Structures are given as C-alpha cells and as structure tokens.
Amino acid sequence: MQCHAAVTQIKLPAGWTFAALIAGLALGWLLSETAASATALAIAGPVGSVWLRALQMTIVPLVAALLVTGITQMVATARAGPVARRTLLTFFIILFAGTLFAAFATPALLEVFPIPGRAEAALAAESATAQPVPGIGEFIESLVADNVIAAAAETAMLPLVVFFVALGAAISRLEGVQKDVMLRLFEAIGQTMLIIIGWVLRVAPIGVFALAVSVGLASGGGAFAALGHYILIISGLGLVILLAGFLLGILASRRGPIGFTRALVPSLAVAISTQSSLASLPAMLQSCRLLGVRETTADFVLPLAVALFRATGPVMNLGVAIYVAKLTGVELTPQLMAVGIAVALVTTIGSVSLPGAISFITAIGPIALAMGVPIEPLAILVAVEMLPDIMRTLGNVVMDVAVTATVDRNKPRGPDPSASSGRANISTRT
C-alpha cells in the first residue's frame, strides 16, 4: 500500500506546532489570573475542540483499513515458508515481552517519579469523563458487537478490533479478483484517511495553540513541567527497547559492541534525520551487509520488519495510554491492562512507519479508548511527539537490524524458500 507517499507530500509544521504549544501555554499562564481568562477560554476552547474532533474522526476508518491490510499481509507472510514463520514468531516474542514491560514499568515509574505541578488536575478537568469499567461478564460480551456500525458510532474499539482482525483473516481466504478488490478498497481507505490527517496536521499550530491556551489557563506553569516529565518517561521506555536491540544484535552478530555500533552508524544517522524506519531501510540493508548478514536474509527480513514489526510501537503507545490514565485519574484494573496489552499488540500490525505526528493519535487512540482512557490530552502531547519519536525510530531501527542478524544466524544453510522471492513483495504501506 502506497499510503505513505501521498502523506509525505505534505510538509508537516512540526517546529511551528511545538512553538505554538509553548506560546499557548505561556499565554494561558499569563491570562490565568486576569479578567480576560474567561474570554480567552471562550475563544480557544471551541477552536481546539474542532481541531481535535477532526483528528478523532479518522481513527475508526484508518484502524479498519490498516488492520485489514496488515492481517492479510501477515497471513500471506506466514504461508511463505518456515523462515518467514520463525521471523514472525521472533517479532511476536519481542513485541509481547516489550508490551508486558511497559504495562509494569510505566505505573512503577509514575509512582517513583509522579507527574509534577498542577497539570494533572487541570488536564483531568479538561478531559472527557472516562468510560465505566465493565464487569467480567460484560467484558466478555463486549468482545463481539451485535452491530458493528453502532460500535463504530460509539467508538467501541475492542469489538471493532476483533471484527476487523476477523475480516482481514477472512479476506485472506478469498481468491483471485474478490480478494484483490477487497484489499484495494481498504488500501484506498487507508490512503485517503492519511491524506485527511495530513491536511488536519497542516493547521496543527492553530489547533495546538488553542488547546494549549485552555490548558495554560487551568494549570498555569505546571503544564511545562508535566510535558518535560512526559517526554522523559516515554522516551525512557523507548531507550530500554533500543538497549535491548543493541544487546540482541551484539549477541547475534558476534561483532562485539564496537563492531555492531560501527555497522549501525549509517542507519542511525538516517533514522535521526528522517524519523522514519521506512526511509532508513536502504541504510539498514547497508548495516546488515557490514555485519555479514546474508543478502537473501536481509532482503526478506528487513522489509518485513519495516512493514509489520515496530519494536517500540506497543511499548511506547501503551506507555502513553497509561500516562494519560494517570493524568485523568482513570484507575487501570488488571482487566483494563490486559485489554490495553492486547490492543497495543494487535494494532501495531496496522500502524504506519511515518513520523509520529502523523500516526500519534490514530495509533494510541484505539488503545486508550479500549481501556476507557480519555484521548483529549493526546492532542496536546502530539505537539511534543517529535522528541520521543526520535527514540521510537532509533529503537525500531536497532531492533530491526538485530532481529535480521538473529534470523540469519539461526537460518539453516542452503536454499531458503521464504527469501527466494527477494523482498517477498513486502507492501510499502508503512
């Protein structure tokens, strides 16, 4: 799916968005104790709300499109041969372990390093009321929607995820023209939604400024400390994955820390400058050659990793959802944590490997909604995502190369049916 191409034609004003965030918080802080505060809130509130709703309206159709195409691609890959299945199993083990880590580590970090200032109470007041926690019986019943249209209207993400995963699996069983038509339909929907997101993000400085004014009016200077705290906590989760990737790569390549790091330099340079693992793919192929990875392995595993495996995705996305839950006072029971882990793992299949500002809300929104966590604070956090997103990309790139070296080390010598088709026609939808 070529949905990344159309979006990357739109230049995203990341620097202006960050500046608008700072300016909005500062203005709100200055006006918070003045007679003009009510007027400022009356103007900024609706503007920010409209911009947030414009982002929210793309969540369900984009998740549907990317889950369906991701599931069909994963099923096709699993049929390619034993090496492909071992690669997918390696992906899953790393993603599952990382997501479990985030589920336990994020609440622990927030207990040790609590969110500072008045921002916690302010953001909780500004957010929508959290969804009630269902009992175990209601939870089981909620897994399957009797009316998927009604579920979409209510943004009931858990039954929607179940439905679209089943739909993707069913489409993978179709043959010929029917399968091609269905896949093209969902690919087109996904591409269209990403174009709309690109349009909405072009006016992000206006929307973020309005939202930031509202937050500044409520929290004063506490929001600045909270945003810095958020960046450190979420980037720290990504750093753990990056270090784990280095350890795995050193063991798999048998090159030692210095040799593995030298081979990664081209990939890391591109990753920092582009914040996209897709754009880093040619450099990652070069890194694998420097590590002595067989070309057939690299040509198969790396594009597959870029398409389906984003090691930092479920870890940092779940971490953000837990952070917002803490901000808004949502109590996360073990049941809700389990839901978050499951949705984070499934939706990473359909996430897009583009700069985080494009996919931030559509990637984290489904997790938060499934856990009953309000998503309004995400519209503020997206303005600083360019900083954690660097860690996301670095962690993904390091882990992609490390997994490729691991698969190559464990692959038997001789003909490899999984890699015989070169890059296995991996979709570039990411």
When pLDDT is cut at 50, 70 and 90, the band that residue 117 belongs to is low
Query: Does the structure show a pLDDT above 80 at 291?
Result: yes
- What does the pLDDT look like over 337-369, one tens digit per residue? 998 999 998 888 766 655 566 678 778 888 998
- pLDDT tens sequence across 198-219: 888 888 889 889 888 888 887 7
Q: What is the pLDDT of residue 428?
A: 40
Q: What is the mean pLDDT of the chain?
A: 82
131 burial class (0-12, 13-18, 19+ CB within 10 angstroms)? middle
CATH topology of domain 17-410: Proton glutamate symport protein (1.10.3860)
**Using one digit for the tens of pLDDT, what is the confidence trace for 214-248?**
888 877 677 788 888 999 999 999 999 999 999 99
Among residues 221, 161, 199, the alpha carbon closest in space to that of 349 is found at: 161
- Per the confidence metrics, is the pTM higher than 0.85? no
Between 125 and 146, name the one with better pLDDT. Answer: 146
pLDDT band of residue 280 (cuts 50, 70, 90) is confident
Q: Which of 206, 239, 167, 214 is nearest to 390 (CA)?
A: 239
